[in-house]
Chain A
């Protein structure tokens, strides 16, 4: 039986683990990593001993101290954690260039094609584990499987300090018997629904039909496929889904005009959209973040539907305006506006197998973003022409007529 080639490395509680290595005096004692100088500081990370005493991440430090008398509060050292994280990544890059970072102290490697250099994937996983322990003193949980989903579930089961090299034939059975909350994508919202439907194990979720899955949630079919260990997502060093484009503008003086705010949002999103389309991506969500005059921050995001993405400016602008409207919930002037595009996925329509119907004969179709597909197709043609011009002569070469209404942040005509 052969094993897969995807290795999942997870240093559970990186901050607490680093503190234990740096200061052996705290080893075996309940402690939390938190900022002691803040009045309502929360627990950023904690030792296993503190966890056993009922302390949880995100808890107020006062509450944690009340719960555990001998609790020690260690101030965080972000630079050190960053350095350790970088060191972990560098160790991983010694074995393969296909390393995908999935959070701090948490990454995937694909060692396919490295057998002649380093031996079987299991040996690579063992060597990686040893080298991480030698270089950083940390002991991560390592799982080896044929898909990212199976590797992630295994590393959640065999923690802490676990090593789970699963064979291809075993992994389906092993994943199927685990509780459903260990499946990536099942969170606090979905879990109670699954439990109420008596779906307690991943195997039960895997046995659902696609119609049944759709009835559970919009993401149900995707979860069912994951539960069946059907996961073709590659280990991508720069996964588009994690990339983000952001732009911002500072209002001087502070803005109280909703039209001006909407216009600025459109302006930013048009520029970001151009950069995004240039790389061939569409955005899954548009987020607007407002900083009010008094320093308070509000943010809202608008997401495209399942399997859809915002590509054309018309879609992006509508989404950005909606996000800004939703975020501006207070009657206070806005100081700064930030727009983010994220959740990138390859853009472009899926080509029809047959010749599409002539435009005038076609029935109007509504896509998941709520905008007529035909209208989008028409705009995409205009968009590509505009992008060509913008690419050649710059963003200011062609601007919408509405741009003349606002100049220097105020209405000019």
Chain B
């Protein structure tokens, strides 16, 4: 469903966008493969006729980890390169969200706060979304800072486990971005750590989310929701789209016509 600024989609590889899962109106992909396959993807999208929106995850070094993390001196140039690469697609409305997801190791230290401040400052004006896996970041100070910069805080639906982000929801910008990871906390308790993020959302669980999603839509200009629950992601996205369509149809006024 992509009308009225509400996008439901999945996390996928860039080459599959618009081809494999046309029911997903929003696709989240990594920076490098997005950059590598830009020309090809446009051809694919044109031939498929899909009206797909994109969320691009920023490079690893922007997110505070990876060997290629630039020094403080050339951070400005590298971020400028990021801005130049993505700005045209943002203006064209193809890239709806730019996600900077910081890992658990990105702790709430002074150095990391300064790093975040510089990244947000350099990428100002782009539809930025930041996500933190470390619960330390969920402070009033951060939320107020994001509100001032009009940067969205990524919302997570994840099991309540140590090392996973807390499931809090807050509106900090004119856009909302939510990642649905899993609710499989039982796998952790059973020792099946690899299956924690492999979860099939039930219809009832997704139906409970619909009113909240529509409420976000009333308060924000664009709402993105991606499923990252492993092999069930496409199925969950399709089900969510059906539920949203049914909800919207149910709210339309019924009349017999003229």
Contacts and interface: CB of A to CB of B under 8 A. Distances in A.
A260 interface: no
B171 A162 contact: yes
A167 B162 CA distance: 11
Contacts of A164: 166, 168-170
Interface stretch (A110-118, A174-182, A188-196): A174-182
Contacts of B218: 139
B160 A178 contact: no
Contacts of A178: 139-140
Contacts of B140: 156-157, 178-179, 182
Interface in A149-166: 154, 156-166
Interface in B196-221: 208, 211-212, 215, 218-219
Contacts of B168: 154, 158, 162-166
A157 B170 CA distance: 9
B135 interface: yes
Interface string B94-107: 00000000000000
Interface residues of B, number: 24
A162 B219 CA distance: 12
B143 interface: yes
B169 A139 contact: no
B206 to A, nearest CB: 13
Contact of B160 (A123, A167, A179): A167
A126 B136 contact: no
B254 interface: no
B135 A174 contact: yes
Contacts of B170: 157-159, 161-164
B115 interface: no
Contacts of B143: 157-158
Contacts of A179: 139-141
Q: How large is the interface on A (under 10, 10 to 19, 20 to 34, 35 or more residues)?
A: 20 to 34
A174 B211 contact: no
B208 A126 contact: yes
Contacts of A134: 211
B167 interface: yes
Nearest to A164: B168
Interface string B166-200: 11111100000000000001000000000000000
A166 B138 CA distance: 12
Given A123-B208, A157-B140, A166-B166, A139 B215 contact: yes
Contact of B135 (A154, A157, A158, A170): A170
Interface of A: 1, 3, 123, 126-127, 129-130, 133-134, 139, 154, 156-167, 169-170, 173-174, 177-179, 182
Top-9 shortest CB links A-B = A1-B160, A162-B170, A163-B169, A158-B170, A167-B160, A130-B211, A164-B168, A157-B140, A177-B139
26 contacts: A1-B160, A129-B212, A130-B211, A130-B212, A134-B211, A156-B140, A157-B140, A158-B169, A161-B170, A161-B215, A162-B168, A162-B169, A162-B170, A162-B171, A163-B168, A163-B212, A164-B168, A166-B168, A170-B166, A173-B136, A174-B135, A177-B108, A177-B138, A177-B139, A178-B139, A182-B140
